[in-house]
Structures are given as C-alpha cells and as structure tokens.
Chains A and B, each alone.
Chain A
Amino acid sequence: MSAQPRMPTESGTPDHFQYMHPTLRRNYGQWSWHERPRPGVLHHVSRTGDQVWTVRAGTQRQMDVHTIRKLCDIADKYADGYVRFTIRSNIEFMVADEKKVKPLIEALTKEGFPIGGTGNSVSMISHTQGWLHCDIPGTDASGVVKSLMDELHQEFINEDMPNRVKITTSCCQINCGGQGDIAINVQHTKPPRINHDLVANLCERPSVVARCPVAAIRPAMVNGRPSLEVDERKCICCGACYPPCPPMQINDPEHSKIAIWVGGKNSNARSKPSLHKLVAAGIPNNPPRWPEAAAVVKKILAVYKQDAHAWERMGEWVERIGWPRFFELTGLPFTKFHVDNWRGARASLNTSAHVRF
C-alpha cells in the first residue's frame, strides 16, 4: 500500500511583503524622489524621511547554486539579507545606511559581479534559453549574451550613453527576447527540410497548416504516407511550423543566420512605444563568441553614442536624423530586404516629399 500522493497547495503568487527589505516594506507607496549617486547605485528618499541605497550588479542569469549562495553571503554580510532581481537578471541589494554602500560594492566587485546597469548604461541583455534548454533554438542565448556583455562591460558599468540602452536576443523568430533598442535575433534563410517518414506520427497536420503565416503548407501524400509539403516560393522561413512539427526542421548550421534590429521601445517617455526595425541580416551564427554580430552591435552603439542627443532612445535618435543617415553613419548597407512587404507595410513607406541631403 503506497502512501497517498501529496496534492499541491495552489497558493499562486506569494505575498511579497514577507521577502521585502524592511525599509521598503515600511515605506511601501511612500517614496518621494530618487537620484543616482554613481553608476549602479540608486538613492531613494521616502516622504517619511527614510532613505535606501540600492546597489545593482550584473549576473549571468543562468546561475549555479554556488553563485546564488555567494550572492546570499554578500547580502547577509553587507546588505541586511535581502535582494531583488530586475527583469534583465540584474540583482539589487538594498541598504538603509549610506556607509554600507562602499563595502558592498567592493565585495561584489571582488567576486566578479559588475556594478552598473542603471540610468544611461547598456543594461544586461534580456535573453532566452538557446541551446542550453530550448527545443527549437537556432543559436545559443547565454553564450551570445556572455560574449556581448564581455564586449559591452564598460558600457554596463558606466552611464555615458545618450539614454538607457536595452538589448535583447532571441534564438528563433518567435522573438522571446522581445523588443529592444537593439535586438539580435536568429533569422532562418531556407525553408524547412521535411522528414516525411515522421510527419504523420508526430504532427497534428491541420494545426501545422494553420500555423503558417503565408499559407505555404499543404497536406500531401509523400512516399505513400500522409505528410505536409511547403510551397517554397511562398515560404518566408519564419519557423512557425517547426515547434508543432519537429520533422519540419528549420534550423540549419549554415543557413540560420543572425539579423539585427534597432529602435524597439516599450516606454511611453517622450515618444510612444515602438517596434524594432531591421537593419542588418545575413550575419553568421558563429559560436562561441559571435564576433560578427558583436561588431555590428558595437558599431551601432558607437554611432548612437556619438550622434544622439541626451535622452534620445535609439529609435528616437534615428527618427530625428532619418533612416538614410542611420545607414550612412553605421556603414550598413540598405537593401530591398529592408523595405517592408508584410501586411500594413504601406504605413512604413515615405508618403511625402520629405528628404534630407
């Protein structure tokens, strides 16, 4: 007679007050203003007169328990035993005494956690799972991000960009990384290769047909078995058919390339939120360090840093100077592929005589 299985306690999202630094808990909803004394440090003042200093540090996101315990040790010794994480996997330590800031920064720096990611810096790249855990990735995620953050380390620990820079990566065209000032995304360039022997057993064919954004997939009998075929003239190589039907292999070591997009913005500050736009493609998927992708990103950042006005996010800067100038300044070629031909494309065309020389 085996023991009864334990049924789950459906507790949902836990109460946050129990895990919150006492100063934050005490001043919940009472904060008055803040400043940044130095990159990586925030100083918040409450209407009650209480103050809190936050030290933000970058992490590798995919953390082993030893790293997490090390961060806990630092929090216990220098920061009252509380931390929180940002959505870009930065860790924040809160202290209510300014004198605690310096030793905390020293402890984190000594253990190799860069202090920064605040204000007008390049923050940690929000990223996906990649080859480490995903079932459909065209590239790795953690490795790309580690390589890029090594290159952008100075931009993380300093605040000398015109405005904040949010970079994202995605290892397929689902774009889990989301919108970013710069987005580094896999772009497949060849239609899926279909293993017709497996389709009937593994794929729910009608739903695969329905997934295709361009209606390029049709049911077909191949080698006497039910399968699917792709009209390769219509196919836009998005890979939407691959997750529900793994025998439609879209990933290719050679032809799954990297594309770079700029100008995504979620904030409402100044301009409305905007989607990122394609600026470069055909970049080789080149582990372990992805130097070609890094070179393009660094070039774009350098031009933005030099040319944008204070407070202009990347997309706002390009809107001001115009896309022709962006391509000129970055040296990136403008091609027929940059001209949108998807639904709603007309809204992206220049319906005016406005032109800069």
Chain B
Amino acid sequence: MSKKMHATPMLDQLESGPWPSFITGIKRLAKDNDMAVDLLGQLEHSYETRKGYWKGGTASVIGYGGGVIPRFSEVAEKFPESKEFHTIRIMPAPAMHYDTATLRKFCDIWEKFGSGLIALHGQTGDVMLQGCTTENIQPAFDEFNKLGFDMGGAGPSVRTGMSCVGHARCEHSCYDEGRAHREVLNSFIDDIHRPALPYKFKFKFSGCGNDCMNSVQRSDMAVIGTWRDDIQVDQAEVKNFVKAKGREYVIDNVTTRCPTQCLKLKADDTLEIDNRNCVRCMHCINVMTKALSPGKDRGVTILAGGKRTLKIGDLLGTMIVPFMKLETDEDFGKLVALSRNLMEFWVENGLEHERCGEMIERIGLNNLIEGLGMEVDPNMVRHPRTNPYVRLDGWDDEIERLKQVKAG
C-alpha cells in the first residue's frame, strides 16, 4: 500500500478553513489504502473537468436484490485502484444511536474490506459505507450482518426508515417513534431487500409537528405525533417565563405568532388557550418548553405522498389520517396494517417509476381514500373544491350512505 499520491491542487484548497475537511480525511486513508489514492485522483479530475465519472451497474449480496449502490469508474485507466467503488447501505438503529464499541467495529470492518470512508448518514438515513470492490461486498456485508445490522433499501424498494430522537430525549415526543419505526419497517423486510415495487417507498417518523425528520416532504408515508386534548399548561411556569422575559416578549413571540390566534396572555400573566382552535403547530410549546407541553391524549397524524422533484415537481404529503392512537399493541398493529394497505394500493395502481404522491396527483385523493376503505374527512383538504366540474348525480345516495355509516 504505497501508491504515489496524485497531484490534487484543487482538492488541496478544501483542506483549509474551520470546518472539518473530508479531503484531509481521505488523504489520511490514502496513506495505507490505494483505493483512496485513486479516488482523490478521480475527484480532482472531476473538479478540473466539472463532470462526474461514475456509472451504475449491478452488484449485490447473496439472497438480496438491493442495498448495494454499484459504482464503476469511467476513467479507470487513469485511476485503476478505484475502478470499482461500490457503496453498501446499512440500516442504523432508530434515531441513529451508537455505542463507540459498535462504531469502532464498523471502522475495523470497513478498513479491512473497503476504502475506509463512511458517510454518517445518507439522505435516506443509511450508514453509507463508501468504496468497496465487487469481490469484497459479500465478506464486508457478512461482518456487518453478524454484528446485528442489516442492509438498507435501494432501487424500487421500501427504503430505510428514519425517526427522530423523540422518546429517547425529547419532551415534545407524542408517541414511541422508535417502536413505530421498527414495527413498520421490520414488517416490510422482504420489500426492503428485494426491489419489486413501482419505485421507492419511504417511511419517516417524527414525534411532533416540528417534524425534525422532514417527513412531510421526504416520505411516502409520514407519521407525525400529535394530541387530541388540551395543551398542558403549568401556569406557575408561565408566570416565571413572563417575569423573566417580559409581557411584550411573550405577546410578540408567543401569542401573536399562533397561527389561529388561540392564545391570550391574561392581565395576571397566565395563559388562556382556546384549545378547540389549536392546530398543534408546536410554536408556543417550542418557545415555552417548561410551561407548555403537548396534551395527554396523544397519537399520530399520517400524511401520504411526500417526495422530491422528478417527475412532476416536489410534493408535500397530504393528510390521510387526522388522528389515530398509538399506544397499545393493537394500535401499533393498526399502524402496520395501514402502511401495508397504503403500499399495496400503490403497488396495485401506481405506474412504473411513479411515486405514491404522483399517483395521488393522477388518480385523485378520493380514489386513494376509497381504496384504503376509509372515509374522506374535511381535515384532508385546505378547502372544498372551487370548480363545478364534477358529476353530482350520486349526491343523494352518498348522503344516505353517510347517514347509514354514522348510524353504524
């Protein structure tokens, strides 16, 4: 291991400055890893020519159809040691907790079989073990697998899930995100490892409306914590907060910032909340962490169809379940069943390479809700339709049906 370093005048410029440098890190690897030497060479070549030089291909492990991102160099004659530079995706634990013993084992395995470069974490939420020859994929994966880690999704499959720190270290957490994450994802193991869906399908779990996992736009099914009853108010702590910050601060930064104007600072420095009009946005609770907390009757709101740009433009998820409890084993069973129903409806009705949100755009929300065996709810829309282009000859029958449903 002593391949001569390529000249990298452009990359060298990324070694200065106060932020940690990935170039310095790769150079350190290059001292005893020739793959890293040629990786730097190819990257410099990209910087010089302003073009990328990796192409996809096929690489996998026994028993799985996905989870490896194959990369073959198009300039391998110049940089032969990194001609194969595959990534292995590994699913971390919910909220990305690690003990150092585990991380050190990761490093040892990857130093032995790969380039020594690990991204913590990729945008989907995987541990990205970057830089592996075709030959070494299997032995490297075997080692991670023996440690209790499994491969994440890639291609048209269920992808690795993500959940916020939630219950482990956040007072805003409205449900057990880690449990929901594991129960849902681990019910789809076959769909994670053997890509056979129209396209990718992502689940993300945020414990409250702050949506730290960005689930509303980054997942096909977003599970966001909420509550049904009143915000818990500790009026003594409200008074302490007002005393510390002043009435003006509280009015400017708490009460007038409420999107539905449901907060009022009373003359005696207590807070009055019109809970019927609270939309669970989290703002006041974010500001007054000691005085205010989510209510006690907690559960989740579920949105479907968030995605990134291609093909039809970025989409935010849309509400399909305004509220469901998520506490008992039965509740979690219902969540898993719902996720299964949503995905199966999309598998049945989605076009090739069409995300769930694009399908909803194409067929309309009504068809999805009907397909899921659910009823529409005014919480699913910002406002009713603004155009008369709809057949209403079923109106009376529908009113009658709804009456029957209501009557049970």
Contact = CB atoms under 8 A, between A and B. Distances in A.
Contact of A146 (B22, B62, B351): B22
Given A28-B167, A82-B97, A178-B214, A72 B104 contact: yes
Interface stretch (A124-132, A225-233, A297-305, A330-338): A124-132
A65 B308 contact: no
Interface string B54-77: 111000011110000101000000
Interface stretch (B284-292, B331-339, B341-349, B364-372): B284-292
Interface string A271-292: 1010100000000010111000
A85 B123 CA distance: 13
The winner among B62, B64, B168 for most chain A CB atoms within 10 A is B168
Contacts of A173: 309-310
B62 A7 contact: yes
A270 B256 CA distance: 10
Contact of A31 (B62, B173, B192, B312): B173
Given A65-B116, A135-B71, A9 B145 contact: yes
Interface residues of B, number: 131
B10 A287 contact: yes
Interface residues of A, number: 116
Tell me if A's interface is mostly helix, strand, loop or mixed: loop
A6 B122 CA distance: 27
A43 to B, nearest CB: 10
A33 B353 contact: no
B352 interface: yes
B319 to A, nearest CB: 11
A222 interface: no
B212 interface: yes
A253 to B, nearest CB: 4
A103 interface: no
B312 A213 contact: yes
Contacts of B359: none
A13 B14 contact: no
Interface string A192-212: 000000000000000100110
Interface in B192-238: 192-193, 209-218, 224
Contacts of B111: 65
A165 interface: no
Contacts of A137: 52
A19 B106 contact: no
A35 interface: yes
B352 A132 contact: no
A16 B178 contact: yes
B239 interface: no
A114 interface: yes
Interface string A227-261: 00000000000111000001000010110100000
Given A133-B85, A289-B13, A15 B93 contact: yes
B100 interface: yes
A239 B249 CA distance: 48
B28 interface: yes
A224 interface: no
A64 interface: yes
B34 interface: no
Contacts of B277: none
A118 interface: no
A101 interface: no
A64 B29 CA distance: 7
A268 B209 contact: yes
A60 B19 contact: yes
A8 interface: yes
Interface stretch (B41-49, B265-273, B390-398): B41-49
B301 to A, nearest CB: 9
Nearest to B151: A8
Nearest to B67: A8
Contacts of A113: 20
Given A8-B61, A135-B52, A179-B214, A82 B120 contact: no
Contact of A8 (B20, B150, B282, B352): B150
A266 B149 contact: no
Given A64-B25, A131-B52, A253-B51, 9 more contacts: A5-B138, A63-B117, A65-B29, A89-B119, A130-B52, A140-B46, A147-B17, A176-B308, A210-B352
User: Ordered nearest first, which 8 A-B pairs have the shortest CB separation?
Assistant: A150-B17, A64-B25, A253-B50, A268-B209, A131-B46, A65-B107, A16-B93, A12-B186
30 contacts: A6-B142, A12-B186, A13-B91, A13-B160, A21-B97, A33-B290, A52-B169, A64-B22, A64-B26, A64-B29, A81-B101, A82-B100, A83-B103, A84-B98, A85-B96, A131-B51, A131-B52, A132-B39, A135-B55, A143-B47, A146-B17, A213-B310, A238-B310, A251-B52, A268-B216, A269-B282, A270-B257, A270-B283, A289-B13, A309-B252
Interface of B: 10-11, 13-14, 16-23, 25-26, 28-29, 39, 43, 46-47, 49-56, 61-64, 69, 71, 85, 87, 91-104, 106-108, 110-111, 116-123, 125, 130, 138, 141-142, 145-146, 148-151, 160-162, 165, 167-171, 173, 176, 178, 181-182, 185-186, 189-190, 192-193, 209-218, 224, 252-253, 257-259, 279-283, 286-287, 289-290, 293, 308-314, 316, 351-353
Interface of A: 5-16, 18-21, 24-25, 28-29, 31-35, 44, 52, 54, 58-69, 71-72, 75-76, 81-87, 89, 91, 94, 112-114, 126-140, 142-143, 146-147, 149-150, 153, 173-179, 207, 210-211, 213, 238-240, 246, 251, 253-254, 256, 264, 266-271, 273, 275, 285, 287-289, 309-311, 342-343
